[in-house]
C-alpha cells in the first residue's frame, strides 16, 4: 500500500541523514527495504511450491533497481 512506499522514502531519508548526507541513495532504499516490505509481500502457492520466500522476492525486486534511471 501507500504506507510502504511512504516508509521507504522516510526511512531512506533518515538513514542518509544519520550518515551525514542530505539525499538518500538507492543503497539507502536497499538497506531498509526488507524490514519494511517483508510482512507486506505474501507469496502465492506457486512460489511456496518452489520454496521462494518473501525475502527472496524482495531481493529479486531490488536487483531490478537501476541506480542511474530517472
In the chain, the number of structural domains is: 1
Average pLDDT over residues 51-66: 90
pLDDT in tens, 4-40: 889 999 999 999 999 999 999 989 999 999 999 998 9
Q: Would you state the cell numbers that stand for residue 20, as one nine-digit string?
A: 551525514
Confirm whether 69 is domain-assigned: no
Q: Please write the tens of the pLDDT for every residue from 30-55.
A: 999 999 999 898 999 999 999 999 99
Q: Residue 7 sits in which domain range?
A: 2-63
CB 20 within 8 A of CB 61: no
CATH number (domain holding residue 55): 1.10.8.80
> Which of 67, 63, 30, 68 is CA-nearest to residue 11?
30
The confidence score (pLDDT) of residue 67 equals: 72
Amino acid at each position: 500500500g501507500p504506507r510502504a512506499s511512504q516508509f521507504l522514502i522516510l526511512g531512506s531519508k533518515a538513514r542518509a541523514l544519520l550518515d551525514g548526507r542530505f539525499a538518500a541513495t538507492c543503497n539507502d532504499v536497499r538497506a531498509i527495504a526488507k524490514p519494511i516490505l517483508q510482512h507486506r509481500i505474501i507469496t502465492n502457492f506457486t512460489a511456496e511450491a518452489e520454496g521462494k520466500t518473501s525475502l527472496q522476492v524482495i531481493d529479486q525486486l531490488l536487483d531490478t533497481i537501476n541506480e542511474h534511471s530517472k
